[in-house]
Amino acid sequence: MRSPIAIALFIIVIVSTLLITRWAARRTHSRAEFYAAGSSITGTQNGLAIAGDFMSASTILGVAGLAFMGNSDAVLYIVAPLLGFTVMLLFIAEPLRNLGRYTVPEVVALRFPGRAVRAFTAAAALVVTIFYLIAQMVGAGALIEILLGVPYSLAVVVVATLMMLYVAFGGMLATTWVQITKAVVLVIGVLLMTVLTFDRVDYDIDSLYQIARAQMDTVFTGNTTGALNSLYSTLSLGLALSLGVCGLPHVLMRFFTVPDARQARRSIIVAMVLIALVFLIVLFVLSYAAIAFVYGKPEFFDDNAVLRGGANMAVVHLSRLLGGDVLMGIVAAVTFATILAVVAGLTMASAGALAHDLYAQVFRRGAATEQQELRVFRVATLAVTVVAALLGVAFKGTNISFLVSLAFSVAASANLPVLLLSLYWRGLTRRGALAGGAVGLVTSTGMLIAGPAIWVDVLGYERALFGSNYPTLIALPLALVTAWATSMLDARHHTADARRVFEELSAKASQAEA
Amino acid sequence: MADESSEIVRRARARTRACLVLAGVSCVVFLIFLVLLHRSVQTHPLAPLRDVSFSFLGVGINFALALGSVVAFGYWRRVERMRAAQPPVKGPGR
């Protein structure tokens, strides 16, 4: 599938993003500039960056791939995240902006000063970002291997090196502009493909659906094995995909880059509109176009009638069908930019948790100088890059959607309860926060390991200990109940001081609009 | 200063209650859609993909609710800002 146009566009993406990094590096010197771009990003820019940060290659290509394989879960993957962004807007964005400066654990630590809660929330943030990073690395390696014909390991190393350069030298400013660039080219790419799809069916969308339905009747004969087959899995995956968004550290961290709460709100509104637009097009136009036009074209299938590069490549094959090598090159470059933007955001969040929370606050108890912390930030970026590259190679061939759902499940079960209860429940105690978060983390990861995807497919056992790959419906309520019960039993910590801290934080969280 | 702070907290609590209602409605509609999706798959594995109008309506309603919540929240915040900007009403002098 290697085409000169695709290679040229890949090089343009790499050069452009490196130029952005060089420009950002000249403007990034202090801690505030590294972690939060000096809070100089406008709401609209940040909205574009959030959209760029959130819409990963696995989301776009994966959803179309699911639909292409006749898996109705595609609808669930599209509809759930917007609810999460609504919850984020209503309950999280403003308090986070008003209370925090650089990282999410910092906000929880305001309620519970000391090292324990901060260390736990930083560790949970790290777990989520590393899982997500592995998914992106596996996706990046596979995609670039197919699109450019380079070996998988080399592709992973190239992506890892680029993400390290963006973050270590350009900090949040470079990350933000890489994400903005990605969001813009993604929207342009998706709109271009939509116009070409409509042109192919003479601007009659019904005929597209009729062709797609006819193909479905011919191609899909057996049952698909998606989450929608079981009510438990449907609800659990829906909960993870929606509420998990609110616990993703790399998305939450973006609210520290804007100057005030009003711009934080604007960020989400812009992000939601863009994400809704792209998701609707991907599901209701591109997925059906892929089913309608790619099936029945032998050049896209191998000798075993399997789509070349797997189902995730359905949209890429569609682009070649609609616009030849030029459009395929554009789509491949957009995909590459998408991967780079997401991994940059994830690396930023991981390195921030390591340097700012674990090193500067937990180990050095706030005694580290700004220079020391920034040095550790760069070392942490390198460490995260090496770990991500190694894990990316080790997990080659692992189901990307599963890895993403793993990150979302842990985010929804461990990060979100602690953050929400810290912000809104007066009765939460330090022990309650720790117990709730720990139960959410252990239950979600434990149930994932005991589920069919790891216990049977990876570890090779005959039967899974837990029948579903989606733990959130159990892990999230369990985390909330544990936090509540532990806090209620922890009566000696319901002091006047604790109440005063909560009241002060509540006032500060809403202050910007006063 | 303390009065101002408690007024901010009071307003924030009222807002949180309104937000809970907005989020609650969105969540209930989302859960209903999930159940309907599950039931449609029981009738035919491809039902949500084959019946485009069902999926489009479901996704559309959920998206509209999400964006509607955003608009309602923005309006609430604007009203709060306008009220905060108004000079306090003076009572009759004693």
Distance CA A166, CA A483 (A): 38
Angle, helix A400-410 to helix A57-68, in steps of 10 degrees: 120
Q: Where are the alpha helices (DSSP H) in A366-415?
A: 370-394, 400-410
The interface residues of chain A toward chain B in range 268-307, judged by CB-CB distance below 8 A, are: 268-269, 272-273, 276, 280, 283-284, 288
B2, two tokens? 């303390």
Q: Is residue B7 part of a domain?
A: yes
Output the pLDDT for position B88: 61
Residue found under tokens 């995807």: A453
Out of A89, A283, A510, name the one closest to residue B73 (CB).
Answer: A89
Out of B23, B62, B73, name the one closest to residue A79 (CB).
Answer: B62
Output the pLDDT for position B57: 93
Output the pLDDT for position B89: 59
Q: Using the beta-carbon criterion (under 8 Å), do A79 and B46 form an inter-chain contact? A: no
Provide the residue range defining the domain that includes B77.
2-85
Q: Is residue B93 part of a domain?
A: no
Output the pLDDT for position A349: 92
Q: Is residue B94 part of a domain?
A: no
Output the pLDDT for position B87: 66
Q: Three-state DSSP class for A307?
A: strand
Q: Using the beta-carbon criterion (under 8 Å), do A220 and B45 form an inter-chain contact? A: yes
Output the pLDDT for position B91: 55
Residue A358 exposure: Cα atoms within 13 Å on the Cβ side: 17
**pLDDT class for B94, splitting at 50, 70, 90?**
very low
Q: Is residue B64 part of a domain?
A: yes
Q: Three-state DSSP class for A301?
A: strand
Output the pLDDT for position A224: 64
Q: Using the beta-carbon criterion (under 8 Å), do B69 and A86 form an inter-chain contact? A: yes
pLDDT in tens, B64-85: 998 888 888 888 888 877 877 7
Q: Is residue B45 part of a domain?
A: yes
Output the pLDDT for position A432: 94
Output the pLDDT for position A145: 82
Domains in chain A (CATH in brackets) are 4-220+227-397 (1.20.1730.10)
Whether chain B has a CB inside 8 Å of the CB on A433: the answer is no
Q: Is residue B92 part of a domain?
A: no
Distance CA A41, CA A47 (A): 10
Contact list, A230 vs chain B (CB under 8 Å): 38
Whether chain A has a CB inside 8 Å of the CB on B72: the answer is no
Distance CA A261, CA A267 (A): 10
Kindly give the confidence (pLDDT) of every residue in chain A, 514 residues in length, as a single tens digit, with 9 standing for 90 and above: 667 888 888 889 889 989 999 999 998 888 899 899 999 999 999 999 999 989 887 777 888 888 998 888 999 999 999 899 999 999 999 899 999 888 999 999 999 988 899 999 999 999 999 988 988 888 888 888 877 788 989 989 988 998 889 888 889 999 999 999 989 999 999 999 999 999 999 999 999 999 999 999 888 876 666 888 899 999 999 999 999 999 999 999 999 999 988 899 899 999 999 999 999 999 999 999 999 999 988 888 888 888 887 888 899 899 999 998 888 888 888 888 888 888 888 999 999 999 999 999 999 988 899 999 999 999 999 999 999 999 988 888 776 767 787 899 999 999 999 999 999 998 999 999 999 999 999 999 999 889 988 888 878 899 999 988 899 999 999 999 999 999 999 877 677 788 888 888 888 887 755 4
Residue to test with chain A: of B63, B65, B78, most A Cβ within 10 A: B63
Output the pLDDT for position A514: 40
Q: Are A213 and B50 in contact (CB under 8 A)?
A: yes
Q: How many domains does chain B have?
A: 1
DSSP string, B23-67: HHHHHHHHHHHHHHHHHHHHH-TTHHHH-HHHHHHHHHHHHHHHH
Output the pLDDT for position A180: 94
Distance separating the N- and C-terminal Cα atoms of chain B = 23
Output the pLDDT for position A253: 93
Output the pLDDT for position A222: 64
Q: Is residue B52 part of a domain?
A: yes
Whether chain A has a CB inside 8 Å of the CB on B12: the answer is yes
